[in-house]
Each structure stands twice: as structure tokens, then as C-alpha cells.
């Protein structure tokens, strides 16, 4: 028998997701990492550090995606929108876990500022959800557009030999493109260029900081 979740139930679930996202514990990917079964590239120290910086940026992006979807799901009005976002959020968990594993393989760590980015993204997501479903879905589409641009740029920057990172980013790009398309198809509004530009500027700040810290 299924029962409706009360607000308290939902808040407990949300708190659990926050902890799992920020502490790197208890998250399991639904799909194996695309890197699985592929050999480690021959990376010298400089290239290893560069790839770790890129993967840290991508990992932070996935932390933000978790927060964004969670914030939106909390305030989304239509249950269908909430379900759709939770489905995409499950794929984002895969991305989060794959990036985290790759960071570890590169002897590196996630960004120390992830809790701050999480809070900001959660607030933006909840605000978009509270305004309305069209805005909320439009926000997903515009965000995914930015994420895809980053991923394409990172794929260009990856050393030729680093097949493990490349395969992860390629699968993520495929998923994010689909998330964006689905959000628009579900009725998301196209954001005007000034809003998209502001989002690009904010994501640039986030990526530049996360590369180092
Ligand atoms: Fe993602
Ligand atoms: Fe996505």
C-alpha cells in the first residue's frame, strides 16, 4: 500500500539527500561508471592536476544539480513535474558518484565550497519552483544548456590519453542534453538572453573557484 508523504516525511528525505550529497557517503550510482573496464591514462603531475581541477568543477556542478532539483521538487506545483525532476535527479546522482570516484582516482578531492553552492542552488531551485512550473522547467533547460557548454569545453581540454575521464563526461553530456530537451518539451519557458547571460556569469564564478578550491 502506498501512502502520501507528509511534509515532515519529505523534509526528512530532503535532509538525508543533503547529507549524502555533501558527505560523499551513501550515494550509489544506478548505472556503472562509463570508465569501468578502461585503462588509466598516462598522466604526468601537471596533467593530473588539470584533469582533477576539471573533474572538481564537474563534481560541484552535480552537487548544484542535486540542490536545484531538490529545491524545485519541494515547491513544484504539479506532481508530474515533481516526478519528472526526481527522475532526472536520479541520473544526476550517477554523475555525482562517477565524478567523485574519478576525483579519488586522481588523488584529489571535491570542492571545499560545495555546501555554499548547494545552499545557493537549493534556494534558486525552490524560488523557481515557487514561481511556477514553466519557470522551473525553463530554469532546468537553461541550466543544462550551461552545463553542456562546460562539458564540451572540458572534453576539448582533456588530455587525449585520459579515456576514463572522457567516457564519463561524454555520458554526462548525453544525459544533460536530454534533461534540457525534456524540460522544454514538458512546458519549460525559454529564458530571455539577459537571464541566460546572468546565469553564465554566475556559473563562470563557480567553475573558476571550484577548479582550485
Ligand atoms: Fe549531471
Ligand atoms: Fe542534468
Torsion of CA 34, 39, 44, 48, to 10 degrees: 20
Q: How far is the CA of 72 from the centre of ligand 2 (A)?
A: 13
Task: Please report the pLDDT score of residue 187 as a whole number.
Answer: 87
Q: Which residue has the cell 564564478?
A: 205
- Convert the pLDDT of each residue in 145-177 to its tens digit: 999 999 999 999 999 889 999 999 999 999 999
pLDDT at 87 > cutoff 90: no
Q: What ligand is nearest to the CA atom of residue 69?
A: 2
pLDDT digits (tens, 9 = 90+) for 101-132: 999 999 999 999 999 999 999 999 898 888 88
When pLDDT is cut at 50, 70 and 90, the band that residue 28 belongs to is: confident
Winning range, highest mean pLDDT, from 1-10, 19-28, 33-42, 107-116: 107-116
**Arithmetic mean of pLDDT over the chain:** 87
> Cα(95) to centroid of ligand 1, in Å?
5
Q: What is the CA(40)–ligand 2 centre distance, in A?
A: 26
| C-alpha 176 – ligand 1 centre gap (Å) | 6
Radius of gyration of the chain (CA): 17
Give the span between the Cα atoms of 209 and 213, in whole angstroms. Answer: 6
Question: The C-alpha cell of 153 is what?
Answer: 569545453
CA pair distance 115, 64, nearest whole angstrom: 9
Question: Residue 1 C-alpha to ligand 1 middle, in angstroms?
Answer: 33
Cα 184 to middle of ligand 1, angstroms = 17
Predicted pLDDT at 1: 47
What is the mean predicted confidence (pLDDT) over 32-36?
A: 92
Residue 34's pLDDT band, with cuts at 50, 70 and 90, is: very high
Task: Output the CA 65–ligand 1 centroid distance in Å.
Answer: 6
Residue 158 is classified by DSSP as S
- The set of cell numbers assigned to 37 is 573496464
Q: What is the pLDDT of residue 132?
A: 87
pLDDT at residue 83 in the model: 73
Q: If you write DSSP's letter for every residue of 47-101 in order, what string do you get?
A: HHHHHHHHHHHHHHHHHHHHHHHHHHHHH-SSHHHHHHHHHHHHHHHHHHHHHHH
Looking at residue 187, the DSSP 8-state letter turns out to be T
Name the residue with cell 535527479.
Answer: 89
With 0-12 / 13-18 / 19 or more C-beta atoms within 10 angstroms meaning exposed / middle / buried, residue 104 is middle
Number of other residues whose CB lies within 10 A of the CB of residue 11: 12
Task: State yes or no: pLDDT of 211 exceeds 60.
Answer: yes
CA distance 121 to 138: 15
Amino acid at each position: 500500500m502506498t501512502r502520501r508523504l507528509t511534509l515532515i516525511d519529505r523534509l526528512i528525505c530532503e535532509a538525508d539527500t543533503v547529507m549524502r550529497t555533501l558527505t560523499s557517503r551513501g550515494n550509489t550510482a544506478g548505472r556503472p561508471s562509463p570508465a569501468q573496464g578502461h585503462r588509466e591514462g598516462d598522466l604526468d603531475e601537471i596533467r593530473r592536476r588539470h584533469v582533477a581541477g576539471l573533474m572538481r568543477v564537474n563534481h560541484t556542478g552535480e552537487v548544484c544539480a542535486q540542490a536545484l532539483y531538490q529545491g524545485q521538487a519541494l515547491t513544484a506545483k504539479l506532481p508530474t513535474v515533481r516526478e519528472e525532476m526526481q527522475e532526472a535527479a536520479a541520473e544526476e546522482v550517477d554523475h555525482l558518484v562517477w565524478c567523485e570516484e574519478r576525483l579519488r582516482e586522481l588523488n584529489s578531492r571535491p570542492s571545499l565550497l560545495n555546501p555554499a553552492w548547494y545552499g545557493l542552488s537549493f534556494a534558486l531551485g525552490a524560488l523557481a519552483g515557487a514561481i511556477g512550473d514553466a519557470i522551473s522547467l525553463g530554469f532546468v533547460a537553461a541550466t543544462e544548456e550551461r552545463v553542456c557548454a562546460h562539458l564540451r569545453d572540458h572534453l576539448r581540454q582533456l588530455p587525449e590519453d585520459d579515456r576514463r575521464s572522457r567516457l564519463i563526461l561524454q555520458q554526462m553530456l548525453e544525459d544533460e542534453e536530454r534533461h534540457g530537451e525534456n524540460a522544454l518539451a514538458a512546458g519549460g519557458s525559454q529564458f530571455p538572453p539577459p537571464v541566460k547571460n546572468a546565469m553564465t556569469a554566475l556559473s563562470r564564478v563557480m567553475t573558476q573557484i571550484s577548479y582550485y578550491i
